[in-house]
Amino acid sequence: MKNNFMSNTDQLSIKGRDKLISELGYWPDFCDAKICELFFRRGTDAELELSLTLQYIDMELNRELLVKIVLHGVLTMRFDELTIDNVIDKLSISDSLVVEIEAAIGLFGHCKCKAIDIDVIASKPFTGQR
């Protein structure tokens, strides 16, 4: 779903933000994005890192993107309802770098971190198949 006012993400320092916006023309709320990968690790400096890879489709633009979101320096987190299929209703980021996932199906919760990186891994025309 298009978020024409780009929420508060235009005020945040999110590495890779501009690349995502240049692909779509807006900052998405990732409605109906499928969580393809969820990865959690403790780095060598004992900081926690959480990585999400999302398949996001914009039907109006006929674009399918694979987007990787990495949350560095995880301070707190709480997630529930991990299932085989996990689909986002809305992903939001607050000024204090709290990432909140509202679920359409499966995983939901929130995480506070120190930094966020976003990378568009793939972008192609949507073929009608997920």
Tell me the mean pLDDT in the region 31-42.
Answer: 96
Token pair for residue 9?
Answer: 């993400």
- Asked if the model's pLDDT at residue 7 lies above 70, the reply is no
- Asked if the model's pLDDT at residue 27 lies above 80, the reply is yes
What are 46-79's pLDDT values in tens digits? 899 999 999 999 999 999 999 999 999 999 999 9
The three-state DSSP-derived secondary structure of the chain is CCCCCCCCHHHCCEECHHHHHHHHCCCCCCCCCEEEEEEEEECCCCCEEEEEEEEEEECCCCEEEEEEEEEECCCEEEEECCCCCCEEEEEEECCCCEEEEEEEECCEEEEECCEEEEEEEEEEECCCCC
- Asked if the model's pLDDT at residue 8 lies above 80, the reply is no
Q: Is the pTM of this model over 0.85?
A: yes
Backbone Cα Rg of the chain: 14
Tell me the mean pLDDT in the region 29-48.
Answer: 92
- Asked if the model's pLDDT at residue 4 lies above 90, the reply is no
Q: What is the mean pLDDT of the chain?
A: 91
